[in-house]
Amino acid sequence: MTAIAKIEAFQVPPRWLFVRVETRDGAVGWGEGSLEGHSEAVMGALVALRERFVGYDAERIEDMWQIAYRLGFYRGGPVLMSALSGLDQALWDLKARRLGVPIWQLLGGRVRDRVAVYAWIGGDRPHEVVAAAHGRLAQGFRAVKMNATEDLGWLDSPKALDATVERVAAVQATGLDVGLDFHGRVHRPMAKQLAAAVEPLRPLFIEEPLLSEHLEGIVELSRHTTVPIALGERLFSRWDFKPFFEAGCVDIVQPDLSHAGGISECRRIAAMAETYDVALAPHCPLGPLALAACMQVALTAPNFVIQEMSLGIHYNVGGHDLLTYLVDPGVFDVKDGMVAALEGPGLGVEIDEARVRAAAETTTAWRNPVWRGADGAVREW
C-alpha cells in the first residue's frame, strides 16, 4: 500500500490552483484544480478530500474518484468537480512517475505523436486582431480563437454583426484558421443571425453560441447552421454532456480537465463522444499542469482534434503565464501549429516547487471583472 501523507493546495498567480499529493515514502504528484474566480471554494472542497484520503492507498485512483464523487451525497458542479479534478490529475501523475512512464502509456498508449493547438487573440477592431494574429503566427500557431462579439443584447441592430465578419475575415487573411467564441453572451435571436453571417467564412467552430443551459435553443440553432458547434467548458461530468449527445446538437465537446473530473472523467467523456461521432477539443485557458493533463488525453483519444493553449501575450498577468512555474518551458514549444508528445514521466512536466510555494504566500484571489453593455446592464463574462 502506497499511503497518502499530504494533500496540499497552492493558489498562484495569475489565477490558478495547483494540487500536490505526497505519499509516506516521499513520492509526489501534481495536478491543477483551477476554477477562475473561485479558488477559495475549491480549496475548501479540498479540505474535505484531504480529511477523507490522507492515509488512503494512492494507487486506487478510480476508487478514490468514485468515493469523492458519490459519497458526498451532493455531487457534481464546478467547485466539487474542480477539487476532484486537481486530486485526480495529481494521483495519475504520482502513479505514472512511480512507474517511470508518461500517463499516456497507462491510458493504452498514444495514437498520435503531436497535438494540434490553438491560442486566443483579442481585439475589437480589425487592425487589433490582425496584430494579435501575427503574434500568434510568430509563436508557431496555425489556428486561433477569438471573441465573436464584445456585446450583443437580446435584439441589436443587424449592423452589429458586420464588425464580427470583418474581424474574422481580417484574421483569416493572415493564413490562420479561426474559431469563434460566443461565450454564451449572445441571445438566441442574435445568435441565429450571427451564425448565418459567419457561415460563408467557414470558421473552425462556433463555441457556446448559447449558454449550455439552453439545450433546446442549441438544438434549434444546430438545425440552421453548417458551422460546427462546440461547447462544454461549463459542463462537469459525463452526465452533463449526455443530453447534448442524445440531442445530436454538438459537434465538438470541450471538457475542461481542471473542472470536469480530471483525467479519469474526461477520458470517459472523450470515449462517450466518440460513440456519437463527436470530436474532442479540451478547454484550457489555464496553467501548465492543466495543459499537460489535457495533452495526456489528447494523445490517446482517437477523436481528438485540437487543444486550447494559453501561451503568453493575453494570458501574461503580473509577469506570470503558462511557462512561469516550469523547470523546462521547452516542453510546450509550438512548431507548425503543434506540440510534440510529452515524453517525461507522469504529466511530463517538472514544476518549480520553490517558486510555487513562494508565489502562494503572497497571492490574492483573482476575480472576474464586471462587464456591462452600452446600456449599463450586466453582460456575460
Q: Which three cell numbers stand for residue 199?
A: 457561415
Q: Which three cell numbers stand for residue 331?
A: 516542453
Catalytic entry in 183, 187, 259, 320? 183
- C-alpha 262/C-alpha 255 separation (Å) is 9
Does 183 qualify as catalytic in the annotation?
Answer: yes
> Would you say 19 and 7 are in contact if contact means Cβ atoms under 8 Å apart?
yes
* Cβ neighbours around 346 below 10 Å, total: 27
Does 187 qualify as catalytic in the annotation?
Answer: no
- Amino acid 122 reads G
Which residues are registered as beta bridge partners of 85?
Answer: none
Catalytic entry in 38, 187, 259, 283? 283
Q: Which three cell numbers stand for residue 309?
A: 493553449
Three-state secondary structure readout of the chain: CCEEEEEEEEEECCCEEEEEEEECCCCEEEEECCCCCCHHHHHHHHHHHHHHHCCCECCCHHHHHHHHHHCCCCCCCHHHHHHHHHHHHHHHHHHHHHHCCEHHHHCCCCCCCEEEEEEEECCCCHHHHHHHHHHHHHHCCCEEEEECCCCCCCCCCCCHHHHHHHHHHHHHCCCCEEEEECCCCCCHHHHHHHHHHHHHHCCCCEECCCCCCCHHHHHHHHCCCCCCEEECCCCCCHHHHHHHHHHCCCCEECCECCCCCHHHHHHHHHHHHHHCCCEECCECCCCHHHHHHHHHHHCCCCCECCEECCCCHHHCECCECCCCCECCHHHHCCECCEEECCCCCECCCCECHHHHHHHHHHCCCCCCCCCECCCCCECCC
122 φ/ψ sector (left φ>0, alpha ψ -120 to 50, else beta): beta
Which residues have a catalytic role annotated?
183, 283
